[in-house]
Amino acid sequence: MRQTTPTPLATVPPTARIAVVSANWHTEIVDGLRQGAKKAYDAAGGSLALSEFTAPGAFELPVMAASLLQEGFDGVAVLGCIIKGETIHDEVIAHAIAQGCTQLAIKTHKPVGFGVITANTLAQAEARSADNPNNKGYEAMVAVTGVDRKSTRLNSSHTVISYAVFCL
Q: Among all residues, which ones are annotated catalytic? A: 89
d(CA 52, CA 74): 14
d(CA 66, CA 68): 5
d(CA 145, CA 133): 17
**132 contacts: CB under 8 Å, gap ≥ 6:** none
Provide the phi-psi class of 151: left if phi over 0, else alpha when psi is between -120 and 50, else beta.
alpha
